[in-house]
Amino acid sequence: MFKAVLFVWMTTIIVLALGLPMVAQPQAWYQFPIIPALGEKARIMFFHVPTAWLSSLAFVISMIYGIQYLRKKRMDDDNKSASAAGLGFLFCFLATATGAIWAKFSWGTYWNWDPRQTSIFVLLLIYGAYFALRSAVEVEEKRATLSAVYSIIAAVTMPFFMFIMPRILASLHPEPILNVQGKVEMNRTMLVVFLSSLAGFTGLFYWMWKLQVRTRTLELNRKY
């Protein structure tokens, strides 16, 4: 049931996000306004922003279940933590790739070490290091403990980027949802599609995560 609803929901969003016309002065409800300097390229935000949101959400979920594991020592929590990290890595890669493609057409280059690009690059590195660490430890309990500790250490140092990044370089990354002036440049339809896409992607993540956790639990039980 959940799968079917999710499928219809995501299909509708993809059709609406790519299909609805963009005009300078929206008259009808189904028209998107043109955001200055972005134009048709603004459509990527319906897919890029949810993936970026999921890559950080997955990181937080992974850390929370890591803490849970350290407190209660249940392998179930480690499964949840590792599955969330795996999906986070996937979505982080998608966010980086979609962002780079967008940057090629907006900024003229795939990669220019914009603060946003640097911070997602660091997030990718953390995910990479996390899995390198997991693959290096054979004993399951030890692997769970060490990776949980590493994800917590990484999570406490990650917020420092928010403070130092603006000191080094000014960002060119657009913030169409809530910009500095606090002005929403999207009309209601656009906002509804955007938020539905965010909800849809989160639902997709939840479904994939549950599947991963079940698969991992089965694999773990098969060994004994």
Partner 1 sequence: MSRPMHNAEQWLRSALSIFKKDWHSEMRTRYAISALLMFVVTTISIMVFALGSESAPADVLSGMLWVVIFFAAMSGLARTFVAEEERGTSMTLQLLATPSAIYFGKLLFNLVLVTGVNALTVLLYTIFLAGFVVKTYSIFIWTIALGSIGLAASSTIIAAIIAKANTKGTLYPVLSFPILLPLLLTCINATRLATEGAFLSESFGEFQFLISYVVVVITASAILFEYIWKD
Q: Count of CB atoms within 10 A of residue 154's CB?
A: 19
Picking from 181, 209, 196, the residue whose alpha carbon sits closest to that of residue 49 is 196
Shortest distance, position 161 Cβ to partner 1, whole Å: 6
Q: Distance of CA 164 to CAs 112, 160, 169, 175, Å? A: 17, 6, 9, 19
**Residue that the structure tokens 């140092």 belong to:** 157
Q: Does 218 contact partner 1 by CB under 8 A?
A: no
Q: Does 161 contact partner 1 by CB under 8 A?
A: yes
Q: Give 24 or 168: the residue with its C-beta nearer to partner 1.
A: 168
Binder among 2, 30, 40, 128 for partner 1 (CB under 8 A): 128
Is the Cβ–Cβ distance between 39 and 33 less than 8 Å? Answer: no
Binder among 132, 180, 183, 223 for partner 1 (CB under 8 A): 132
Please choose, out of 4-12, 83-91, 96-104, 137-145, the segment that lies near partner 1 by the rule CB under 8 A: 137-145
Q: Does 152 contact partner 1 by CB under 8 A?
A: yes
Q: Distance of CA 128 to CAs 90, 142, 193, Å? A: 11, 19, 33
Picking from 224, 212, 216, 217, the residue whose alpha carbon sits closest to that of residue 90 is 212
Going 205 to 207 to 213 to 219, the CA torsion angle's sign is: negative
Residues in CB range of 51: below 8 A, 6 or more apart: 91, 92, 94, 95, 98, 201
Binder among 4, 24, 28, 156 for partner 1 (CB under 8 A): 156
Q: Give 163 or 224: the residue with its C-beta nearer to partner 1.
A: 163
Please choose, out of 38-46, 93-101, 139-147, 203-211, the segment that lies near partner 1 by the rule CB under 8 A: 139-147
Binder among 44, 75, 100, 137 for partner 1 (CB under 8 A): 137
Q: Does 72 contact partner 1 by CB under 8 A?
A: no
Q: Give 49 or 120: the residue with its C-beta nearer to partner 1.
A: 120
List the interface residues with partner 1, window 4-63 (CB under 8 A).
Answer: none
DSSP code, position 34: P
Contact positions vs partner 1 (CB under 8 A): 70, 122, 125-126, 128-129, 132-133, 136-138, 142, 145-146, 148-150, 152-154, 156-157, 160-161, 163-164, 167-168
